[in-house]
Amino acid sequence: MRKSRALASVMVLAVSAAALAACGGGNGNNNAGGASSPAASGASSPAASGTSGAKPAKDPVTLTFVISNTEDTTAFTKIFDAYQQKTGNKVELQALPGGDYDNLIKTRFSTQDFPDLFLMQPGTKQYVKLRADETLHEWSNEAGVWDNVIDSIKQAQVQDDKIYGVPYGSTGMMGVFYNKDVFAKAGVNPPKNYADLVEIAKKIKTAGVTPFYEGVKDAWPPQIFYFTGWVTQVDPAIGDEGVAKLNSNELKLADIAELKDLFAKQKELKALGLYQDNVMSGTYDELQNEFGEGKVGMTFMLDGVIAQLEKKFGKDFVAKSVGFFPFPSATDTGTAMITPPNQLMVPDKAKHAAEAIELVKFMLQPENVDLFYANKPGIPIFKGATSELYPVQEDVKKYIDEGKSKVNIQNRLTPSFVDFSKTLQNFFLDGNIDKAIKEFSDNYQKDGKAKVLPGF
Amino acid sequence: MERRKYPLYFSFPALSVFLLFFIAPTLIGVYYSFTDWNVNADSISFIGFDNYKALFGEPRLGKALSNTLIFAAAVTLLQNAVGLGLALLMNEAIRMRNLFRTIFFMPYVIAPIVIGYVFRAIYHPEHGIVNEALGWIGLGSLGQDWLNDPKWALFSIIATDIWRVAGFAMVVYLAGLQFIPKDLTESASIDGASYWRRFRHIVFPLLAASFTVNVLLSVIGSMKVFEMVMVLTDGGPGYTTEVFYTYIRSTFSMGQMGYSTAINLVLFVLVTVVGVPVLMALKKREVEM
């Protein structure tokens, strides 16, 4: 009996050991004996040797590329296929839930579980979030990265002369998207100024169509009104100096009269009955449906809606029936609000950091940039790149080319507009401008304090 | 009969797991609630009661506190009332009794998040079943924007949660009802006691143990409500349905770990302050059969 127990114990131990060994030996193509760790592989890696083209790797590795599951990955997959053909290295896509993407990345950083490469929202505020100077590869002097990037997009990434993320993708935009068929039905044209916008909205209402739609239930959509209104109305008033003061807490959001006026403007639109019925239950999905069906004339929205409208109503609808204009100012058509694309980031301590840097350079090669835009068209941020654009995007490009565009304020500030959507939900309910702007301002300062930023 | 005694060290494995995964994290949490632990800061320092001072000056806490208590009181009361009613009904000899028992219990095994998404559609002001049904029976004027009107949002969440958990209370009460000797109620019946009298003087007192279990689990569970609120309203519109856990979630996502832990500790104290007296009061009225 004792013998058989001992034998059973030995067998259990042997099976357990074999299982553990199998776990450890998994992913064998990733890293044979640790030879492809940044330090070990650095000597043979093209990045370390200063060359920009990817070469076939002696010991192919599998890189992990983390991305939000809200992103369409087709364009990336095409480039990664080309990368694998050229180098033998594979890229494994890990899509994390979009709603908690930031927190999941932060958690992975705090547990030292670094991906080799990941896509992050644009702007320097991500540097604070991820403790960039300690954790991320610095790109500002990296050869073969900045040759073709449009300068204004590059500058939006600079903080203290350093850049920790490489912008990749298309310029986004926020503003007023309008249904051209509805405008034709109501006999109106894009507005010349803000007062004109209100008059147009009234005419659309008279024509039996809802002038504006707001997705208050989904919380984030009403913020677009303020972001796009900012570049037209607030930026000219406070200038870059004012933005710098906001960054150092020398200027309070609540003290900006032009910002307060944006709250008054939104309240006026609601008071005039220019939003849809049941505005509190408005959702982004319903917005797309109502807009596509011609039941809504306009919406303050970001360019993500183009892809959604294309999915629901087809390319032809987007090409023929969707128009764009910026938030108009009191005197003119306003300034187009643009957003830099997401940024590619490489943690210094990633298992395959050297290969990830090389992959980024590979992605930036003109033929791969074109491959990206062929699969995900948008306004390019690379010189010489070509992309098929919808008329609605061409409209924005004209503003950019004429120098009448400005990067989104959120991408220029280090603290965030925390819980702004909640503030706006309350504002839609009670219409209290002073309360709303105070809460907005207080939350901004709380976030600055939470991020331990100087001046807060 | 002599009771068999087991060595004390038999409890060590369970005790060590409990210490490692429950007691130790709680004590560590208490310590961190007195620090400025923040994912954006280089170091962690002891700051005394600063987190608690900041917390009690925060208007959102008051809203979260009142909503949590309203939610807990309403769910505890109604879950038990509905659960007991269903249990009494399901204890009678009615046709397809087991099928009905299963149907009433089923919502409890569905994840609250799934229920939340289903009820978002049910409560939709224009296309939702609730308003549609009111319209069909000629009460369309009573239709509301159930989740986006601050007057109704919290009560809509409460109603949804009661629908979810009443079946669980029913099962516990049913178990209690099985233990009540039939001869007690039958002899009372022969003596001419009405159904209400039998319930009041025999059934309900003998259900005290089930009542204790149900009420205590309801109080604790409902004070920790999170998923249902998050999916149905995410604490909105604005902060009108904010509860403790939605507030804690938002502070954690800002990286304020020390502050968030302090809110957790406040909730822990609150659950204890409410739960312990409830338990003691209910234990007192339990009777031995």
DSSP assignment letter at A162: B
**Cα–Cα distance measured from residue A295 to residue A208, given in angstroms and rounded to the nearest whole number:** 8
- Mean of pLDDT values over B19-37: 94
Chain B partners of A111 at a C-beta cutoff of 8 Å? none
Residue A23 confidence (pLDDT) above 50: no
Residue of chain A whose alpha carbon sits nearest to that of B260: A450
Q: So what's the pLDDT on residue A364?
A: 96
- In this predicted structure, which of A335-349, A399-413, A416-430, B74-88 has the lowest mean pLDDT? A399-413
Interface contact B236-A425, CB threshold 8 A: yes
- Mean of pLDDT values over A64-73: 91
DSSP A193-235: SHHHHHHHHHHHHHTTSEEE----TTSSTTHHHHHHHIIIIIH
- Smallest Cβ–Cβ distance between B40 and the set A216, A446, A451 belongs to A451
**Selected residues 279-298 of chain A with any CB under 8 Å from a CB in chain B:** 280-281
Chain A partners of B235 at a C-beta cutoff of 8 Å? 422
Rounded to the nearest integer, the mean pLDDT of chain B is 92
Q: So what's the pLDDT on residue A48?
A: 38
Q: Is A452 on the interface with B (CB under 8 A)?
A: yes
**Cα–Cα distance measured from residue A368 to residue A53, given in angstroms and rounded to the nearest whole number:** 12
The residue with tokens 């309240």 is: A267
DSSP A414-437: SS--TTHHHHHHHHHHH--HHHHH
Instruction: Phi first, then psi: give them for residue A91, nearest 5 degrees.
Output: -125, 120
Higher pLDDT, B48 or B125: B48
**Selected residues 99-138 of chain B with any CB under 8 Å from a CB in chain A:** 124-126
Q: Tokens standing for A35?
A: 């030879």
Q: Is B40 on the interface with A (CB under 8 A)?
A: yes
Q: Are A379 and A306 in contact (CB under 8 A)?
A: no
Chain A partners of B234 at a C-beta cutoff of 8 Å? 219
pLDDT in tens, A141-159: 999 899 999 888 898 899 8
Residue A266 confidence (pLDDT) above 90: yes
Higher pLDDT, A239 or A55: A239
Q: Is A116 on the interface with B (CB under 8 A)?
A: no
Interface contact B237-A216, CB threshold 8 A: yes
Residue B209 confidence (pLDDT) above 70: yes
Q: So what's the pLDDT on residue B25?
A: 93
pLDDT in tens, A282-316: 999 999 999 999 999 999 999 989 989 999 999 99
Higher pLDDT, A28 or B273: B273
- Cα separations (Å) of A307 from A304, A419, B45? 6, 27, 48
Residue A50 confidence (pLDDT) above 70: no
pLDDT in tens, A220-229: 999 999 999 9
Q: Tokens standing for B14?
A: 């369970």
- Mean of pLDDT values over B26-42: 91
Q: Is A322 helix (H, G, I), strand (E, B) or coil?
A: strand
Q: So what's the pLDDT on residue B286?
A: 77
Q: Is A78 helix (H, G, I), strand (E, B) or coil?
A: helix
Q: How confident is the model at residue A349 (pLDDT cuts 50, 70, 90)?
A: very high
Residue A16 confidence (pLDDT) above 60: no
pLDDT in tens, A101-135: 988 998 899 889 999 999 999 989 899 889 899 99
Q: Is B256 on the interface with A (CB under 8 A)?
A: yes
The helix (H) or strand (E) run that includes residue B53 is: helix B50-56
CA dihedral A108, A114, A117, A123 (to 10 degrees): 50
Q: So what's the pLDDT on residue B43?
A: 87
Chain B partners of A422 at a C-beta cutoff of 8 Å? 235-236, 238-239
Q: So what's the pLDDT on residue B2?
A: 62
Residue to mutate among A217, A414, A419, with most B CBs inside 10 A, is: A217
Helix ranges (H only) for A207-335 are: 223-229, 235-247, 257-271, 284-292, 304-321
Q: How confident is the model at residue A20 (pLDDT cuts 50, 70, 90)?
A: very low
How many inter-chain contacts (A to B, CB under 8 Å) are there?
A: 61
**Cα–Cα distance measured from residue B266 to residue B247, given in angstroms and rounded to the nearest whole number:** 12
Q: So what's the pLDDT on residue B284?
A: 85
| Torsional sign, CA B151, B157, B158, B159 | positive
pLDDT in tens, A162-220: 999 999 999 999 999 999 999 999 999 999 999 999 999 999 999 999 999 999 998 89
**Cα–Cα distance measured from residue A240 to residue B177, given in angstroms and rounded to the nearest whole number:** 74
How far apart are the CA of B11 and the nearest CA of chain A, in angstroms? 24
Q: Is B239 on the interface with A (CB under 8 A)?
A: yes
- Smallest Cβ–Cβ distance between A281 and the set B148, B235, B254 belongs to B148
**Residue B148 CB partners (closer than 8 Å, separation 6+):** A216, A217, A278, A280, A281, B125, B233, B236, B237
Interface contact A281-B250, CB threshold 8 A: no
Quick one: three-class SS letters along B271-287? HHHHHHHHHHHHHHCCC
Residue A100 confidence (pLDDT) above 90: no
Residue A95 confidence (pLDDT) above 50: yes
Q: Are A318 and A390 in contact (CB under 8 A)?
A: yes
User: What are the start-end ranges of the E strands in A125-276?
Assistant: 166-167, 170-179, 210-212
**Residue B28 CB partners (closer than 8 Å, separation 6+):** none
- Smallest Cβ–Cβ distance between A429 and the set B125, B150, B255 belongs to B150
| Torsional sign, CA A21, A27, A31, A37 | negative
Q: Tokens standing for A221?
A: 């959509």
Q: How confident is the model at residue A400 (pLDDT cuts 50, 70, 90)?
A: confident
Q: How confident is the model at residue A32 (pLDDT cuts 50, 70, 90)?
A: very low
**Selected residues 179-238 of chain A with any CB under 8 Å from a CB in chain B:** 216-217, 219
- Smallest Cβ–Cβ distance between A422 and the set B147, B236, B256 belongs to B236
Residue B4 confidence (pLDDT) above 90: no
CA dihedral A352, A358, A359, A364 (to 10 degrees): 160
Interface contact B255-A428, CB threshold 8 A: no
Q: Tokens standing for B278?
A: 């409830």
Q: Is A104 on the interface with B (CB under 8 A)?
A: no
The residue with tokens 């100024």 is: A193
DSSP assignment letter at B23: I
pLDDT in tens, B136-166: 999 989 999 999 999 999 999 999 999 999 9
Which is nearest to A380 in space by CA: A176, A214, A184, A150? A150
Chain A partners of B249 at a C-beta cutoff of 8 Å? none
pLDDT in tens, B163-174: 999 999 999 999
Interface contact A280-B250, CB threshold 8 A: no
Q: Which ipTM score applies to this complex?
A: 0.78
Chain A partners of B40 at a C-beta cutoff of 8 Å? 128-129, 131, 450-452
How far apart are the CA of A265 and the nearest CA of chain B, in angstroms? 20
Which is nearest to A292 in space by CA: A305, A279, A277? A305
Q: How confident is the model at residue B89 (pLDDT cuts 50, 70, 90)?
A: very high
Rounded to the nearest integer, the mean pLDDT of chain A is 88
Q: So what's the pLDDT on residue B191?
A: 87
Residue A51 confidence (pLDDT) above 60: no
Quick one: three-class SS letters along A385-403? CCCCCCHHHHHHHHHHHCC
- Mean of pLDDT values over A353-369: 96
Interface contact B41-A452, CB threshold 8 A: yes
- Cα separations (Å) of A379 from A226, A391, A393, B270? 23, 11, 7, 54
Residue to mutate among B36, B40, B44, with most A CBs inside 10 A, is: B40
Q: Tokens standing for A285?
A: 């999905």
| Torsional sign, CA B249, B251, B255, B258 | negative
**Cα–Cα distance measured from residue B142 to residue A414, given in angstroms and rounded to the nearest whole number:** 47
- Cα separations (Å) of A218 from A280, A425, B12, B160, B197? 9, 10, 50, 20, 52
Chain B partners of A280 at a C-beta cutoff of 8 Å? 145, 148-149, 237
- Cα separations (Å) of A108 from A103, A444, B224? 9, 26, 27
Q: How confident is the model at residue A54 (pLDDT cuts 50, 70, 90)?
A: low
Percent of all residues in chain A with a pLDDT value above 90, rounded to a whole number:
71
Q: Are A115 and A324 in contact (CB under 8 A)?
A: no
Please compute Rg for chain A using Cα positions.
25
**Cα–Cα distance measured from residue A285 to residue A292, given in angstroms and rounded to the nearest whole number:** 11
- In this predicted structure, which of A47-61, A230-244, B20-34 has the lowest mean pLDDT? A47-61
**Cα–Cα distance measured from residue B172 to residue A387, given in angstroms and rounded to the nearest whole number:** 65
- Mean of pLDDT values over B17-22: 94
Q: So what's the pLDDT on residue B253?
A: 82
How far apart are the CA of A422 and the nearest CA of chain B, in angstroms? 4
CA dihedral A188, A193, A198, A203 (to 10 degrees): -10
- The answer to whether the bond into B237 is cis (omega within 30° of 0) is yes
pLDDT in tens, B212-249: 999 999 999 999 999 999 999 999 899 999 999 999 99
**Residue A64 CB partners (closer than 8 Å, separation 6+):** A91, A92, A94, A115, A116, A117
pLDDT in tens, A311-328: 999 999 999 999 999 999
Q: Is A279 helix (H, G, I), strand (E, B) or coil?
A: helix
How far apart are the CA of A111 and the nearest CA of chain B, in angstroms? 12
